[in-house]
Amino acid sequence: MELSHLALFLRIVEKGGLAAAGRDFGLSPATVSERLAALENHYGATLLIRTTRAISLTDEGRILVEGARRLLAEAEELENRIRLGTERISGPIRLSAPEDFGRQRIVPIIDAFVMEHPDITIDLNLTDGYVDLVGQGLDFAIRQGTLADSSLRARSLGMHRRIVCAAPAYVDAHGVPMHPGDLAKHACIVMRFGQNLDHAWPFVINGSMRKVMVNSKYIANDGALVRHWCKTGLGIALKSERDIEEDLASGTLVELLKDFSASRTSLQIVYPSAVTQPRRVRMLIERLASKLASATAGG
């Protein structure tokens, strides 16, 4: 099977439709359909389920996505080594990172990396929600919290605290909560992860771990917006120390309920286990791991 057919199949999956993939390749919808049919005939299996609104992968289609990415990555790396030499790297890197953390910590590292390797292109998806790496064609993602998808591999970047915080203006107006139970009387700013609200905040109370339900006056699925609302004095938030360390240092935000602090979460680089990563992807992962792990050790 021609690699170009596999590349087209991946683009169909990434774009979510045959017409959009065809535009990227300069092909008519009829030609895209013919090549998809040729793939399915070649493998003797239905690869995509198409409706008027969306497409979805069959089990065989998902296997082919993983295998096609590996084959295309190996072919591209072989070509680059011969054509460009082993010292130069080029091509796209597609990744995802949390909104607030991505803007503050990931983007500067990427910018420096691209300055060193100008033939690299970056496709960065900033989101605090779940991302399907395989379905969206991402090389890797930086995620906080527990890894739920067992099909992914993970590289730990260490643990960090989550801090209950507020702006001095909020504290002046509404007082300081002295106990986690006092949060019921305060306006809290809560993150939404997909359909789930992060409104059960963990604390150590009388030597035991307990979760306290907070009053979610403001809700957002964007960590940067939660931080902004908190800094403007609209309420109390639970934020990663990596996201707000400059705000704490400048006094823009203050830590609350420090004696009860219990919330810690992991930071990880995750990637599909069955995919052979191109050298450019491995190099960026190494750079991110080095920089972010150093920041964790230092802070």
CATH number of the domain enclosing 218: 3.40.190.290
Q: Which domain holds residue 41?
A: 1-84
Pick the closest to residue 177 from 237, 224, 219 (CA basis): 237
Final residue before a domain boundary, out of 44, 65, 84 = 84
**Cα torsion through 65, 21, 126, 158, rounded to 10:** 20
Cα–Cα distance, 295 to 158 (Å, whole number) = 10
Pick the closest to residue 64 from 130, 112, 113, 13 (CA basis): 13
212 in any annotated domain: yes
**Cα torsion through 102, 104, 108, 109, rounded to 10:** -50
253 in any annotated domain: yes
296 in any annotated domain: no
207 in any annotated domain: yes
Q: How many CB atoms neighbour CB 270 within 10 A?
A: 19
Provide the percentage of residues in the chain whose pLDDT is more than 70: 90
3 in any annotated domain: yes
Cα–Cα distance, 237 to 5 (Å, whole number) = 49
249 in any annotated domain: yes
Q: 166-198 pLDDT, tens per residue?
A: 999 999 999 999 999 999 999 999 988 777 788
122 in any annotated domain: no
- 265 pLDDT above the threshold of 80: no
The most confident of 12-21, 75-84, 218-227, by mean pLDDT: 218-227
Q: What is the CATH number of the domain that holds 38?
A: 1.10.10.10
Structure confidence at residue 150 (pLDDT): 61
Final residue before a domain boundary, out of 84, 99, 124 = 84
Domain identity same for 167 and 257: yes
Domain identity same for 80 and 165: no
Query: Residue 175: what residue type?
Result: G
pLDDT band at 86 (very low <50, low <70, confident <90, very high): low
pTM for this entry: 0.62
**Which residue is listed with tokens 């209950």?**
164
Q: 107-159 pLDDT, tens per residue?
A: 999 999 999 999 899 999 988 877 778 777 788 998 876 655 566 788 888 77
- Report the number of distinct structural domains present in the chain: 2
Final residue before a domain boundary, out of 51, 84, 117 = 84
Structure confidence at residue 299 (pLDDT): 39
pLDDT band at 87 (very low <50, low <70, confident <90, very high): low
Provide the percentage of residues in the chain whose pLDDT is more than 90: 30
56 in any annotated domain: yes
Cα–Cα distance, 18 to 54 (Å, whole number) = 10
Query: Residue 246: what residue type?
Result: E
Q: 192-234 pLDDT, tens per residue?
A: 877 778 889 989 888 888 899 998 889 998 888 999 999 999 9
Cα–Cα distance, 141 to 98 (Å, whole number) = 9
